[in-house]
Chains A and B, each alone.
Chain A
């Protein structure tokens, strides 16, 4: 038994789903503190796998990074024998945060409070005054060091992308991801990567609005006008949404230069969307190099619950969500290229980093869209979000992007893990 018992779970509020296909989602689910608490236990510490980092970020023995899974602080690190571990960053003694630095290299993690000392795999290796001082004090005779380590998570890596889960009952990572998403990770991580840096964004809204945003593929060309205005991604291009068998993950993809300029202009003009006649003076960042040879220029891969792998033209990044209560979360973007990139290719990726992140020309709007939603849905227990673009009913893949169907997929697995699926729930 671990010395610090995990919190006794309070009862999860009941949800009265208006429809079994999740085409209506009650607004209170985004604000309720009891729901948020239950999510930490059932989603983030439940049978889901969460991305914690790239092996390329901890190449050497002793390298560590601190991060979070939901609201739980964790250390992601490499032991002296080269193995990768993820442990809860909370002292097995009084619960203090053990590792305070965001990154570094160390053989052990020592809590500053009472100097308890832990190995990279979480094992408690020593504590001062265990046998007392001059025969006085010390831990009781039945104190067993083996019971008081840092909580160890299950860890699995796919081509250097490291995931962790709190659950012993969770499927293997391979089963959890399924063939489509394993293949996608293998596509993006076919070669060793080099981390180019980080971007962070603090959004004052509920965390679920972000995986929803990633799965609502039709907002892209409407909200992010830069994309359609300057021709990066348009709903008229060849593309679609592909999910796993359980519909919890989603890959939104599009091919470059597969639509007709006149058709695009006519559609956006007819629907009174916006002016698309603008041109950049320096269009270099719009250029797409087909590095993968499959023509896919947009691939937004959203893995349940909160991991995103993005390829936007030649910009590559992992995105990870940390939660800070029902009304606040942070997105950590880890931008990378390949270890064998030329200097020109690195420059191109950096130019394209203008398009992503908190100041991204095609992503800044998401921060605002999420905050205005979160603000306006407060205090509306009876009202619901409407999710039926691309059709209600069964959830399935589509060969177009004029849809938000994968959002319903997210909710269906979410409701299953939370234990409040409606009768006859669509899965």
Chain B
């Protein structure tokens, strides 16, 4: 179990680094082939309303998001900085665990001005194999759902 917590912590660290270092193509590869990525405002989540901010129900849609970001979308020029809290890991089966962790994301302009951009939590299902961990499901519940400016790079 402690070994699994260590591996999950590494996965989350790589998750944060791949976004913060603008390696979004590497970020995509942290998802399993059956993986999904959903970003949901807390006000909807708490009321059982389904509207997301971002909804990628499969890995193709995750890749499309990044493709659009790279080729079509314009957004505020910035660096992201993720801080992810200690994960709570629950084993579901020999090949799967659930993970909950809180996150904080700061954004910094290219002029060096930082602001708190988003806080919330991750509710994930993670696929466990001998060689690596990957996200089967990543749900981001956003407390800061009055999104400042816009949301382009993943949370």
B61, CB-defined interface residue at 8 Å: yes
The distance from the CB of B98 to the nearest CB of chain A, in whole angstroms, is: 23
The distance from the CB of B77 to the nearest CB of chain A, in whole angstroms, is: 9
B43, CB-defined interface residue at 8 Å: yes
Contact of A357 among B53, B56, B72, B152 (CB under 8 A): B53
Asked if B72 contacts A359 (CB within 8 A), the reply is no
Contacts of B63 in A (CB 8 A): 281
Contacts of B43 in A (CB 8 A): 102, 198
CA distance A350 to B60 in the complex (A): 16
The distance from the CB of A285 to the nearest CB of chain B, in whole angstroms, is: 8
Contact A281:B148 (CB < 8 A) given known A359-B54, A368-B76:
no
B58, CB-defined interface residue at 8 Å: yes
Contacts of A202 in B (CB 8 A): 146-149
The distance from the CB of A47 to the nearest CB of chain B, in whole angstroms, is: 30
Asked if A229 contacts B72 (CB within 8 A), the reply is yes
Of B41, B67, B72, B148, most buried by chain A (CB within 10 Å of CB) is B72
B92, CB-defined interface residue at 8 Å: no
B17, CB-defined interface residue at 8 Å: no
Give residues of chain A (208-250) contacting chain B, Cβ–Cβ below 8 Å: 223, 225-226, 229-230
Asked if A225 contacts B49 (CB within 8 A), the reply is no
Contact of A359 among B39, B60, B146 (CB under 8 A): B39
CA distance A162 to B55 in the complex (A): 30
Contact A361:B60 (CB < 8 A) given known A202-B146, A203-B149, A353-B55:
no
Contact of A197 among B50, B76, B150 (CB under 8 A): B50
Q: Name the residue of chain A whose CB is nearest to the CB of B152.
A: A364
B52, CB-defined interface residue at 8 Å: yes
The distance from the CB of B120 to the nearest CB of chain A, in whole angstroms, is: 14
Contact A199:B55 (CB < 8 A) given known A358-B147, A361-B73, A371-B149:
no
| Chain A residues with a Cβ closer than 8 Å to the other chain, count | 40
A365, CB-defined interface residue at 8 Å: yes
A373, CB-defined interface residue at 8 Å: no
Contact mask for chain A residues 239-277; partner B; CB cutoff 8 A; 1 contact, 0 none: 000000000000000000000000000000000001100
Q: Name the residue of chain B whose CB is nearest to the CB of A351.
A: B55
Asked if A282 contacts B72 (CB within 8 A), the reply is no
CA distance A346 to B50 in the complex (A): 9
Contact of B74 among A102, A229, A365 (CB under 8 A): A365
B2, CB-defined interface residue at 8 Å: no
CA distance A226 to B149 in the complex (A): 19
Contact A359:B152 (CB < 8 A) given known A195-B49, A225-B73, A351-B57:
yes
A411, CB-defined interface residue at 8 Å: no
Contacts of A351 in B (CB 8 A): 55, 57
If over half of A's interface residues share one DSSP class (helix, strand or loop), that class is named, otherwise mixed; here it is mixed
Asked if A198 contacts B74 (CB within 8 A), the reply is no
Contacts of B39 in A (CB 8 A): 359
Contacts of B61 in A (CB 8 A): 281-282, 354
Contact mask for chain B residues 37-70; partner A; CB cutoff 8 A; 1 contact, 0 none: 0010101100101111111111011011101100
B71, CB-defined interface residue at 8 Å: yes
Contact mask for chain B residues 11-28; partner A; CB cutoff 8 A; 1 contact, 0 none: 000000000000000000
Give residues of chain A (46-77) contacting chain B, Cβ–Cβ below 8 Å: none
Contact A358:B75 (CB < 8 A) given known A196-B49, A281-B64, A351-B57:
no
The distance from the CB of B65 to the nearest CB of chain A, in whole angstroms, is: 8
A-B contact pairs, 29 of them (CB 8 A): A197-B49, A197-B50, A197-B52, A199-B147, A201-B147, A202-B147, A202-B148, A202-B149, A204-B149, A223-B74, A226-B68, A229-B68, A229-B72, A274-B72, A275-B71, A282-B58, A282-B60, A330-B146, A350-B52, A353-B51, A354-B61, A358-B147, A364-B75, A364-B152, A365-B73, A365-B74, A365-B75, A368-B149, A371-B76
Q: Which residues of chain B have a CB within 8 Å of any CB of chain A? A: 39, 41, 43-44, 47, 49-58, 60-61, 63-65, 67-68, 71-76, 145-152
